Amino acid sequence: MTIEATDAAADHVRVTLRPAPGSARATPAAGTGAGCPRGRCGMLFGVRVRRATVQDAEVIALILAEVAEEGLIATEPPVDVPGRTQRLRTMLASEGPSGSWILEDGRQIVGSAGAHETLPGVLSLGMAIVAEARGRGGGRMLLDAVLAHAAECGAHKVDLEVWPDNGRAIALYVAAGFSVEGFRRDHYRRRDGSLRSALLMARHVDRLP
Ligand SMILES: CC(C)(COP(=O)(O)OP(=O)(O)OC[C@H]1O[C@@H](n2cnc3c(N)ncnc32)[C@H](O)[C@@H]1OP(=O)(O)O)[C@@H](O)C(=O)NCCC(=O)NCCS
């Protein structure tokens, strides 16, 4: 599945089938240097992060629904896309430090990050990028946007939970200055009845690494 970005005034999003491997959608931009690790130099062209608006709510919910199928995030499939969209609209329309950010590759929305104020001055982070857009620097761009926002709005801490076997995400968080603050052993009951543990990670906003 791919999700095409729409003008902010548009009232719909266009969802198409996932492109075949090697298609233009999945290929780093022309002119990227050979040897760029994981093709991330391709992210120098046409990729940007912006603050999400109410009009982005459905796209964010669709991305969550797609990534949830992989079992990498706490949200389990099947995602109630209309319900999630409505909750996101409410959050995005409200004032306050909570917010979401969108990763765009050209006119395609390929990922999002959300930061929710769970305690005064503490923003809890969640991120999801569609599989074919990962490993090219987009996660770091989203994370940097959330950290900049946290500093601007006076938050003192950003925290998150991550499955202990999600090495890619943990590497990203460590590279961005997060450290492990705890471990929730067999904490989350999944729909299949299993229990999952989670790492608690956090970074103080006012203490740069
Ligand atoms: C986690 C996620 C947001 C990271 O985004 P990304 O675009 O893949 O990551 P980036 O390309 O920005 O890489 C940032 C850092 O992550 C690490 N990383 C990226 N790809 C990696 C890979 N294939 N293997 C190991 N580490 C990797 C590196 O530390 C990298 O920084 P560096 O190369 O400068 O050292 C993204 O992979 C994703 O959405 N995964 C599925 C959902 C998920 O796991 N969400 C987080 C739940 S807590």
For the chain, list the domains and their CATH numbers.
44-204 (3.40.630.30)
Based on the number of CB atoms within 10 Å of its own CB, is 21 exposed (0-12), middle (13-18) or buried (19 or more)? exposed
Closest to 140 measured CA to CA, from 130, 129, 151: 129
Q: What residues contact 206, with CB distance under 8 A and at least 6 apart?
A: 151, 156
- pLDDT digits (tens), the chain, 209 positions: 545 444 333 333 333 323 333 333 333 333 232 333 333 444 446 899 999 999 999 999 999 999 999 999 999 999 999 999 999 999 999 999 999 999 999 989 999 999 999 999 999 999 999 999 999 999 999 999 999 999 999 999 999 999 999 999 999 999 999 999 999 999 999 999 999 999 999 999 975 55
**3-state SS class at 86:** helix
pTM for the predicted model, two decimal places: 0.82
Pocket of ligand 1 (CB under 6 A): 38, 40, 67, 72-73, 127-129, 134-140, 160, 162, 166-169, 171-172, 175
Instruction: Name the token pair of 134.
Output: 């990962």
The residue whose CA has the least distance to atom 10 of ligand 1 is: 137
